[in-house]
Amino acid sequence: MDESYFCPKRIPGKRGRGASGKTIVFGIFKRQGKVYTEIVPDARKKILQGIIRGKVSPESVIHSDGWRGYNGLVDVGYDKHYHVHHGHDEFARGSSHINGIEFFWSYAKRRLTQFNGVPKHTFVLHLKETEFRFNHRNDNLYQLMLQRLRKDPL
């Protein structure tokens, strides 16, 4: 799991958590599986852990970066929580890494850049479309859409 910051244009001198005006997106990626994203108002512990408790089983193995919003997951029942510290130039420690969700952030930002800016009120729709495309990247999207339309016509 990880959080990322989206903005239509680069703001000089403003990076990461200190960048005001950016849209914060929290993501959960199941290894060899699918990604789930949610727009959050901020990356505080209360908000992130609320989403985690609602979406992740306590028996799961959790990998995250060193952001303090993930501290205390062991206290609420997630005994297998491993993290890497990007601030100390650590990006992987054995099988502990967050490369999957980082790949999704790269994919989403490249995809959304093609639109030369996305209006804030439609950003969630573009994000969820990107999530859908990523989750079905190995499927034939045309056939998948036909199946869904047959099952639930417009």
What does the DSSP 8-state code read for residue 66? S
The CA distance from 45 to 60, in Å, is 19
| pLDDT > 60? residue 18 | no
The CA distance from 150 to 37, in Å, is 27
The CA distance from 51 to 56, in Å, is 8
Most confident of 87-91, 110-114, 123-127: 123-127
The CA distance from 1 to 73, in Å, is 12
What residues does each domain of the chain span? 2-151
- Range list of β-strands (E), the chain: 2-6, 23-29, 35-40, 62-65, 81-84, 92-93, 96-97
* CATH 3.30.420.10 holds for 2-151: yes
Smallest CA-to-CA distance from 22 within 33, 34, 10 is with 10
This prediction's pTM: 0.84
Could you report the per-residue pLDDT of 21-52, keeping only the tens digit for each?
789 999 999 988 899 999 999 888 999 999 99
Q: Using an 8 Å Cβ cutoff, are 16 and 5 in contact?
A: yes
pLDDT category of residue 77 using cuts at 50, 70 and 90: confident
The pLDDT, as a whole number, for residue 17 is 57
Q: Using an 8 Å Cβ cutoff, are 98 and 1 in contact?
A: yes
